Amino acid sequence: MPILLTVILCTRDPHPARLARTLEGLAGQTLASASWELLLIDNGSSPALHPRSLPSPGPALANLRVVPEPVPGLTPARLRGIAEARGDVLVFVDDDNVLASGYLAFAASAFASSPRLAAAGGPVRAEFETIPPAWTTEFHGLLALHDHGSVPLFASGGPGAPWPSFAPVGAGLCLRRAAGLDYAARVRADPARAALDRRAGQLTSGGDNDIVFTALRAGGDVAYLPELALTHLIPTGRVQPDYLVRLNRAIQRSWVRVLALHEACPWRPIPRWTLPLRFARAWLRACPWRGPAERVRCAGLIGRLEGQADLTA
């Protein structure tokens, strides 16, 4: 039986050219427009977004609806999209993602044929604005880039299910609506979870993992499906050392908090007053004076320590 999809595109003051590419990718989907809707969640853009102000890729996006969400942050924007969605499956697309043309059609087929499937994603490949230095390759995962090959991978959900190494990232995340509603209810019951993801000026990035972990531990299966391929448009600024330092620190800190939330954290809480000494040890261990890669690694160690200190709050 055919199912309806809802694409949720959260954005704030998007880069016009990258948003145009994202919308072109959606306009080129092979899935009939009657089988999916597009919600563009405007998270406080200035000026506010309007369908007539967006790049127009053609009639295939007649299913577009702009929905304002004034509360800043990726989590409030996603929650608005979940609340407004009519689809059986939600597909989260960032404003710098270009989906393969068969993405939505394959997602609809996969979820229709696998009732236990709760969350899925696929390879995320880069299109860099400029070729980055070779040392950045180690940190491409921080930019949501991953490719686990051409064979589908599955993890069975249930209480205590371990985190799968191939878990989907937020870019292109496909989520059964029931799992999305369950996640939204849990965030309403624990508003601190909204702080796990990005807000203006912050690079915290734990919301994607919280969504997937919630679906997995609730009993839903999680999959890596190679047909769900997308291109991530990466501007030059996101492969600069200072940005990667900030990003790794924020990601590692939020990852500790996500693991603790789901009772899967291997690191113990530590007193906040011990952080200066622990930071010094991390600095000596990572040797950040040697180069940019060492700086980014050091920032990750510091972020993890900050996350452990958060657990004592």
Which segment of 8-22, 43-57, 271-285 scores lowest on mean pLDDT? 43-57
Q: Are residues 123 and 260 in the same domain?
A: no
Q: How confident is the model at residue 44 (pLDDT cuts 50, 70, 90)?
A: confident
**Residue 58, in any domain of the structure:** yes
Q: 174, 203, 234: which is the final residue of a domain?
A: 234
What is the distance between the alpha carbons of residues 308 and 265, in angstroms, rounded to a whole number?
9
Q: 204, 234, 264: which is the final residue of a domain?
A: 234
Q: What is the pLDDT of residue 194?
A: 83
> Which whole number is the average pLDDT over 230-254?
96
* Total structural domains within the chain: 2
Q: Are residues 30 and 178 in the same domain?
A: yes
Q: How confident is the model at residue 228 (pLDDT cuts 50, 70, 90)?
A: very high
**Residue 210, in any domain of the structure:** yes
Q: Are residues 143 and 187 in the same domain?
A: yes
**Residue 245, in any domain of the structure:** no
> Which whole number is the average pLDDT over 55-74?
79
Q: Please report how many Cα atoms fall inside a 13 Å half-sphere around the Cα of residue 68, on the Cβ side.
A: 8
Q: Are residues 199 and 63 in the same domain?
A: yes
pLDDT in tens, 178-223: 999 999 999 999 988 888 887 766 777 889 999 999 999 999 999 9
The mean pLDDT of the chain is 93
**Residue 226, in any domain of the structure:** yes
- The CATH number linked to 17 is 3.90.550.10
Is residue 1 over pLDDT 70? no
**Residue 140, in any domain of the structure:** yes
Q: What is the pLDDT of residue 59?
A: 47
**Residue 302, in any domain of the structure:** yes
Percentage of the chain lying above the pLDDT 70 cut: 96
Q: Containing domain of residue 290, as a range?
A: 255-310
Which segment of 151-160, 197-206, 295-304 scores lowest on mean pLDDT? 197-206
> Which whole number is the average pLDDT over 163-182?
96
Q: Are residues 111 and 67 in the same domain?
A: yes
Q: Are residues 79 and 149 in the same domain?
A: yes
Q: With helix as H, strand as E and coil as C, how does 240-285 read?
A: CHHHHHHHHHHHHHHHHHHHHHCCCCCCCCCCHHHHHHHHHHHHHH
Q: Are residues 76 and 117 in the same domain?
A: yes
More confident residue, 133 or 63: 133
Q: Are residues 298 and 184 in the same domain?
A: no
**Residue 76, in any domain of the structure:** yes
Q: Are residues 50 and 83 in the same domain?
A: yes
**Residue 90, in any domain of the structure:** yes
Q: Are residues 42 and 118 in the same domain?
A: yes
